[in-house]
Amino acid sequence: MSRSEKNREFSLEAGQDGQMASNKGEAAGAAWEGADLERTIVGEDPTSDSLEDARHWVAVYGHLVNLEQELFDVLARMIPRMPPDAKREAEETNLPVLASQVERFRHRLDFWSKRRRELEAGRRR
């Protein structure tokens, strides 16, 4: 980890802490939705017969899988060096949320990869 990454801080400006607290319901809803394997992204149409659509969503979900997996891996490497209370919280909240996102995005990537293969096979006939 570089020095700039170690020194990166996320601070709240005056008044933002109340705003963050008011978004707890949104955050909980987002975490719950993130665990829904069949939840699609805005604009995603699983019934599309377009090979271009399938290729697009394979690329999108490929990027998201990589992103979430990298975040998961970074957190997993950091946890052993955390104080016990921080370690417990990260293990009980952060890791499960990231793991569910990785699972969901992999599921959607598998769906679109299969769909792309089907559509490519249909073009060859």
How many domains does the chain divide into? 1
> What is the rounded CA–CA span in Å between residue 108 and residue 62?
9
Q: Which two tokens stand for residue 74?
A: 């970074």
pTM of the model: 0.72
Q: What is the CA radius of gyration of the chain?
A: 19
- The overall longest dimension of the chain from CA atoms, in Å, is 63
34 within domain boundaries: no
Distance of alpha carbon 88 from alpha carbon 60, whole angstroms: 32
Full residue range of the structural domain in which residue 66 is found: 46-125
Residue 1 lies in a domain: no
* pLDDT mean values, one per 10 residues, the chain (125 residues): 43 50 56 78 96 98 97 95 96 93 96 97 79
In a domain, 115, yes or no: yes
pLDDT of residue 9: 44
Residue 80 lies in a domain: yes
Q: Is residue 103 part of a domain?
A: yes
Residue 65 located in a structural domain? yes
Domain membership of residue 16 (yes or no) is no
Report yes or no on 89 lying in a domain.
yes
State residue 124's pLDDT score: 73
The torsion angles phi and psi of 76, rounded to 5 degrees, stand at -60, -35
